[in-house]
Chain A
Amino acid sequence: MFVFFLRRLLVAVPTLILISIFVFLLQQLLPGDPVLAMAGEDRDLATLAALRERYGLNETLPVQYWVWISAVLQGDFGTSIRSGEPILDLILQKLPVTLQLAAMSLAFAMLIGIPMGIVSAVNKGTKIDLAANVIALSGLSIPNFWLGIMLILLVSVRWQLFPASGYVPPSEDFWQSIRTMLMPSFVLGTGLAAALMRHTRSSMLEVLRQDYVRTARAKGLTERRVVLRHAFRNALTPIVTLTALLFGELVAGAVLTEQIFTIPGFGKLIVDAVFNRDYAVVQGVVLVTAFGFIFMNLLADMAYVLLNPRLRHAR
């Protein structure tokens, strides 16, 4: 099993290198010149040339990449072209905010989506199934930003139950932190819950047809135990895959959600960096996101092995 993990870890390395090259090249394709943005009003050629020289933008692409990646590997993502702050500090400051949002959203998604998927699979073809599917479809169809704005209007402005915006770190006031994050994570979680529900349903339907489920019933187990233990354990694998893949959507959704609820998180950092053509920040942020994605998939692979004993003995 250890060998499997090690191998899986090694496979991730070339992927990361490729991603870093891609991220680097992406910058070259983007329209707009960072030097122009930096120079602002003062656009005489001498200033522009000096800036280019200073940031090494006259070097060839491989040299630029090498300089950048070797610094990154030492934890130096460079400084923001805009504010001059070290990018690593910016990321470390914003990342926990978004991680909290992502974790709470995922929790919402799983708490709503998985039970709904199971119930709807067990009651396939009944009104319960229909109702669950209608709810899931609404969840998929309602745009995050609309739901967010409606919730702010209703829950925050009219009923004054939860704050409409802002962020409190959990280290400062844990419950207040959860309270402020509740609405944004609900908004972000509902869309994912719908996807999870659909996948859980189809995965459960597939598993419930298997012979071993009939065997479990033949033992005289209660239907509840048959479904939750014998069927669900086997249905989990595709659900875990989806959850890992949802991480990408989670980051994308966070961008929008953080704008609506004015949360000073990673998503806002991305948006601001792109609008400001702050290339160095964009590179750092995309790299960290890609790393996160690969890490999530690695976790999913490890979860498979724990869930499926047949993989444990495969070499």
Chain B
Amino acid sequence: MAGSGSALLSVSGLGLSLGEKGPPFLRDVAFDLQGGETLCIVGESGCGKSMTAVALMGLLPPALSRNLKGRMVFEGEDLSLRDNDRLRALRGRRIAMIFQEPMSSLNPVFRIGDQIGEAWECHNGSGGRAKALEMLERVGIPDPEGRLNDYPHQLSGGMRQRVMIAMALVNDPALVIADEPTTALDVTVQSQILDLMRDMQRRRGMGMVLITHDLGVVAQIATRVAVMYAGEIVEHGTVEAIFSDPQHPYTIGLMASVPPISGPRQRLTVIPGRVPLPSALRPGCRFSDRCPFATPVCATPPPARIFDNGHVALCHHTPVESLAEAAAWA
């Protein structure tokens, strides 16, 4: 799936291990993204979603990035994920990032107008203030002129996230990576921010990688979905395919753990166990110790099963018909 020529972004072989010979924390993560598309990366906490995002930005701490592998082709340019100089030149200009915590992600001692303006000026020279005003207007902040001189602590959480979005989009990037942009916000504000992001994306034809654990967000905004588990993409496909025809047992479990809005109340379904620590990872299927369908064959690396429309699942027991069989044996 990686490497098709026309993609805006094509990541391949992204791997990260803790220490020289340590177990791989991220294993062979690969995906493509077209302009105007939204790829949602979903998974439990600790599955490597944020790590993947930070690695693409070249923002891993030096102790970790030493053991980073992988390449990406971005806007036709093939570069190593360890090419820090190149990544820095792209950062903020062609690839922008929106972070999870708008409270702590803005610098408390600088005016927001200056913080947005700085993002513009460090790639374009001058005119940051005018640009900041324009961006504040675009992200729907009331009285943008008055807000320019505010400090982050004077704004509400939702406003701060709007400022973060303004800052990320000021240079009209081709790709935005958003790491749980709505998790820290009130539910009502969440959908406003998602609407804003979708609106900005449509108008500018940006590609977006959105990291989330919220399947509601995924259904609302995604074009395609990559399901991550323990540092691997275990299933990947269009949003319709993933929601209506999930193939990997982990994806099926995730879907089942969303409480239904209507119908009789019932106990929430949970996937037993937790994401294994990197030190406890085994060579075979990483989900096998929590998988209700696991059989001895799962101790060997699972094959990538390919379905229609680029829908791929990393499991010995797909397609789903045979899952039922597997369950019957268990």
Binding site for B on A (CB under 8 A): 210-212, 214-222, 225, 230, 233-234, 307-310, 313
Contacts and interface: CB of A to CB of B under 8 A. Distances in A.
B107 A219 contact: no
A88 to B, nearest CB: 42
A309 B107 contact: no
Given A215-B105, A234-B107, A234-B108, A220 B118 contact: no
A233 B97 CA distance: 23
Nearest to B87: A220
7 contacts: A220-B119, A220-B122, A225-B122, A233-B107, A309-B153, A313-B153, A313-B154
Contacts of B109: 233-234, 307-309
Contacts of A308: 108-109
Contacts of B104: 210-212
A220 B107 contact: no
B122 A310 contact: no
Given A217-B59, A218-B92, A220-B92, 12 more contacts: A212-B108, A214-B59, A215-B99, A215-B106, A215-B107, A218-B99, A219-B119, A222-B88, A233-B107, A233-B109, A234-B107, A308-B108
Given A218-B59, A218-B92, A219-B92, A211 B119 contact: no
A71 to B, nearest CB: 46
A313 B168 CA distance: 28
Contacts of A225: 122
A221 B164 CA distance: 16
A310 B107 CA distance: 11
Interface centre among A219, A230, A309 (most CB of B within 10 A): A219
Nearest to A216: B107
A230 to B, nearest CB: 6
A215 B170 CA distance: 14
Contact of B91 (A218, A307, A309): A218
Interface in B71-120: 88-93, 96-97, 99, 101, 104-110, 118-119
A281 to B, nearest CB: 45
B106 A219 contact: no
Interface residues on B, range: 20 to 34
A219 B167 contact: yes
Contact of A211 (B92, B96, B99, B154): B99
A310 B108 contact: yes
Given A219-B167, A220-B93, A211 B108 contact: no
Contacts of A217: 59, 91
A273 to B, nearest CB: 45
A220 B87 CA distance: 8
A214 B91 contact: no
B123 interface: yes
Interface of B: 57, 59, 88-93, 96-97, 99, 101, 104-110, 118-119, 122-123, 151, 153-154, 164, 167-168
Contacts of B122: 219-222, 225
Nearest to A225: B122
A310 B151 contact: yes
A219 B91 contact: yes
B167 A212 contact: no
Nearest to A220: B92
A21 B104 CA distance: 46
Instruction: List 9 A-B pairs, minimum CB-CB distance, nearest first.
Output: A220-B92, A220-B91, A219-B92, A211-B104, A212-B107, A309-B151, A219-B119, A211-B105, A218-B97
Given A219-B118, A313-B154, A214 B105 contact: yes
B115 to A, nearest CB: 8
Contacts of A210: 104
A219 B94 CA distance: 10
B92 to A, nearest CB: 3
A221 B93 CA distance: 10
A206 to B, nearest CB: 13
Contacts of A230: 107, 110
Contacts of B99: 211, 214-215, 218
Contacts of B59: 214, 217-218
Given A217-B59, A218-B59, A219-B118, A310 B153 contact: yes
B301 to A, nearest CB: 34
Nearest to B98: A218
A220 B92 CA distance: 5
A233 to B, nearest CB: 5
A225 to B, nearest CB: 7
A219 B96 CA distance: 7
A310 B97 CA distance: 26
Contacts of B164: 215
Given A219-B122, A234-B107, A309-B108, A211 B101 contact: yes
Contacts of A211: 99, 101, 104-105
A233 B164 CA distance: 20
A223 to B, nearest CB: 8
B96 A218 contact: yes
A215 B119 CA distance: 10
Contacts of B89: 220
Nearest to B168: A218
A45 B144 CA distance: 84
Nearest to B103: A211
A47 B108 CA distance: 69
Contacts of B88: 220, 222
Contacts of B92: 218-221
B147 to A, nearest CB: 14
